[in-house]
Amino acid sequence: MASQLITFFLSFALFAGMAFLSYNEASLLLDPYNVVWRRREMPKAAWAIEQLRSAEIEHLAKQPDIYDTLIVADSRGSWGNIREVNRVTNSRLFSLNASGDTPIGWLPKIRWAVQTQTKLRRIILYLSIGQFQVAPQRDLLLFHEHPYVTGESWLSYYWTFSNLPYQTFLRSAGYYMQRIAGLSKDSATIINSGFDEETGELTLFGQSYPQFVPTDEDRAKFQSLVSSDPPERLRFHDSIYGSADLATLLKDRPIREDQVTSFIELLQVIRANGLQAECVVTPTPIAGLRLTPSKFYLEWMHLVVQHCGAIWDFSLPAPITGDNYNFRDMDHFLPYVSKMILVRVLGGELPELRKYPDFGVQVLAREFETYHDRWERAMMCWERSAFGGDDRRCSTPFVNR
């Protein structure tokens, strides 16, 4: 009798495990990018970055009366401690970020959002010069927008995303086999295709990363590594560049007219719907600014402020941009930096912002000529100080309007 019970329970467990595996793998086979099935929970192994745009729009469509502010950004908007920002500024922000996004990609999403998001009052645009230099690549899955945004038929949309990456299937199947066998050490799942449903921040790289804050111990470790680096090495918090890497970044690409045209139309759509546009020039490490001629960079910034009327410039060479510890890599700043950006723009208060008065200068279009000279002087000062990240002598205080 006991042996029969053991056999029964083993058979039941095996059957249940196979059914569970079959359901999840069937959903992956039939809808590999989760664009129609909309399963609420799946392993990291079954997640692909191409799912993000679709899932974000789907989420906003189901929550049209929550958010008063959208952050429109490329991957620089992935993390920003938005819960803390909301608390400090009494706002409801959602980060509509997607890797490689540009004004051409933002325009149709904002056209859709202003018609559907009933509480929307403000759009924060995270701007960088590289967004205005790249050609649109609509044929890539990474840039394929949701049917709500484009008007594409659902059949066409599903067909576009119906080709399952073979390695994704193997990783997912292996994940479930390990769980069934009790061998899996990573039970974490991706909810709603990899982003936090309250803030829009990515969760793919771990729940703790958006809340990362610097510590004395972490900073000391970083400084120790920097001090032992050879002269040709450039280190950031999460990445290292050699001389060969830097050479590939030295590309003189012109500003594209199609990106500028989309940017202008984007601002027109925002204003025509009675919304406020906040144009934010994102921070770039001084080491990265050196790869772009200052004259060219400032001409781009002048173009932006002409159309925005005013900008928040966080690229002014100053202690934050002069310290590579504050950046993941050449292009991405850490979450606590993004938090300071958002709180500054929204008029909130943080102790950190009082320490860095030059981080986030509000510049009106009519003031740009004077600001142009100030920016160049700051850059020359930091060049002379050989990237002295904590050297305040190169900083000049300002008063935000």
Given this model, what pLDDT does residue 1 score? Answer: 62
The dihedral built from the CA positions of residue 42, 46, 52 and 57, taken in this order, carries a sign that is negative
Residue 395 pLDDT level (bands cut at 50, 70, 90)? low
**Mean pLDDT across the chain, nearest whole number?**
86
CATH of domain 50-156+193-394: 3.40.50.1110
Please give the single-letter amino acid code of residue 113. A
**Residue-wise pLDDT tens digits, 198-231:** 999 988 765 556 667 888 999 999 999 999 999 8
**Residue-wise pLDDT tens digits, 330-388:** 999 999 999 999 999 999 999 889 999 889 999 999 999 999 999 999 998 887 775 44
Q: Which residue has 């409801």 as its token pair?
A: 92
Nearest CA to 28 among 51, 2, 60, 54?
Answer: 51
Q: Is 300 helix (H, G, I), strand (E, B) or coil?
A: helix
Identify the burial level of 180 via C-beta atoms within 10 angstroms of its C-beta, where 0-12 means exposed, 13-18 middle and 19 or more buried. Answer: middle
The whole model's pTM is what? 0.89
Q: Do the Cβ atoms of 319 and 395 come closer than 8 Å?
A: yes
